[in-house]
Amino acid sequence: MAGHDTSRVLRYDASPAGANAQVSKNASLPNRISIFSRTRVLRARLHAVIIDRYLVREVLATLFGVVAVLLLILLSVRLVRLFAEAAAGNLPVDVILIALGLKSIANLVFILPLALYLAVLLTLIRLHKDSEMAALAACGVGAGRILRPLTWLGLVFAVLTGALGLYVGPWAENQNEKLVALYQESRDVQGVIAGRFIELKGEAGAVYVERFDEDLGEYRNVFFQSQGERGQVIVSSLSAYQRIDERTGDRYLVLENGQRYEGRPGAPDFAIVEFDRHGIRIERKPPREVTFRLKATPTVDLLRSGAASDVAELQWRVSPMLLCLVLTWIAVPLGRTSPRQGHYLRVGIAILIYIVYSNMLNVSRAWLEDDNIPQYVGLWWVHLCMGALALVLFAQQFGWRALRLGRVR
């Protein structure tokens, strides 16, 4: 009985055309593998870019809120101090806002590192709380991969704070010092505040002005008191203005339409004199060069100087740049929490670390100014210690292998 052969017969075409077709099929296989590998690499890079942008966007959104809160606190404290100085006659009222703006610019260099530190910490805490970090870890995104975009963000803020600390901040302090010095030079007359007694050094007396007419540039209802040869001298006038003698350079307060009372009332030598104009010489101060504090000294001058105080100020201005990086690295392990774990404890620990960090910098700066430590040690040892602390915290939370940036967890 003839059976049917169900086996398949493989035929090989030995013709040249068949051989070329077989070789072509075998040659296209590596090309397909190569295209597939490139597609996987491009897709992985695209996912990495998306993750980086997401992390940076979340940190920046939190950063703006933290900066706003810190600036509001700073402006409130600074505004109270400026009002106190204006009330004491040390600062004119019309320059309070200018001084507030200059001081805010100068202090912004220390706000940005702290704001970045808290923004990274709060963002990572929220991502852990919402289990987003767990989802990223399940996709192979480890702590080292998270650290990369945050480090780049810290570098950007380091450059920004460097520009503020080395150039913009000293310029703002310099302008503020000039503003205060200019006012101190002319406060004897121009610093007279309506409704207050102001002491005049030149005549060893005091002047009181009821109001100031800005349109005419004159003082109204002026009262002046001093001690003369025959006793107390009291002068009152309806108006007054200031004048500078071109020959001597002395500055005078010229009172118009008033009376001068000299001596003790009831005494034989008591005199009352009415006048149309009466000049009161104010002490002429010799021109002097304005001396600035170290914080207002340009960075170029600090670089040229080898004094311990100048070196300490220079290293102090560079410190915010390192603060941005070190605090960012510290915030990453501190931000690792579980959804059920308390979050305020982490924030408290982070604030405590920042306080210790800043106090160590202040102490080290004082030591450097007093030549108690070498200049090459300076403030750098503080940053090295806190950088080592960041490595220890990172290794404790994620392990040393997670420090390999770009490797999955």
Q: For residue 259, what are the β-bridge partners?
A: 236, 274
pLDDT digits (tens, 9 = 90+) for 308-342: 888 888 899 999 999 999 999 999 888 877 666 66
**SS3 for 198?**
strand
Q: Whole-angstrom Cα distance, residue 113 to residue 133?
A: 24
Going residue by residue through the chain (409 aa), what tens digit of pLDDT does each one get?
444 444 444 444 444 545 444 444 454 545 555 554 555 544 545 556 777 788 888 889 989 989 999 989 988 888 888 888 777 666 777 778 888 888 888 888 889 999 999 999 998 888 777 776 667 666 666 666 778 888 899 999 999 998 988 898 888 888 888 777 766 655 545 555 666 777 765 556 777 878 777 677 778 888 888 776 667 888 888 888 777 776 776 777 788 888 888 877 777 777 888 888 887 776 555 544 545 577 778 888 888 887 888 888 889 999 999 999 999 999 988 887 766 666 678 888 899 999 999 999 999 999 998 888 888 888 999 999 999 998 888 888 776 665 554 443 3
- At a CB cut-off of 8 Å and minimum separation 6, what does 164 contact? 105, 108, 109, 112, 320
What pLDDT does 190 receive? 52
Phi, psi of 197 (to 5 degrees): -85, 130
Q: For residue 206, give the amino acid letter.
A: A
Q: For residue 228, what are the β-bridge partners?
A: 231
Reference 251, options 295, 283, 275; nearest CA is 283
What pLDDT does 284 receive? 54
What pLDDT does 405 receive? 46
Q: Whole-angstrom Cα distance, residue 59 to residue 328?
A: 11
What pLDDT does 386 receive? 93
Q: Whole-angstrom Cα distance, residue 142 to residue 105?
A: 38
Question: What is the percent of the chain with per-residue pLDDT over 90, rounded to a whole number?
Answer: 14
Phi, psi of 359 (to 5 degrees): -65, -40
Label residue 333 exposed, middle or buried (CB < 10 Å: 0-12, 13-18, 19+). Answer: buried
Q: Whole-angstrom Cα distance, residue 207 to residue 226?
A: 9
Q: For residue 207, what are the β-bridge partners?
A: 198, 224
- pTM score, two decimals? 0.66
pLDDT digits (tens, 9 = 90+) for 156-171: 999 999 898 889 888 8
What pLDDT does 352 receive? 94
Helix (H) or strand (E) holding 180: helix 169-186
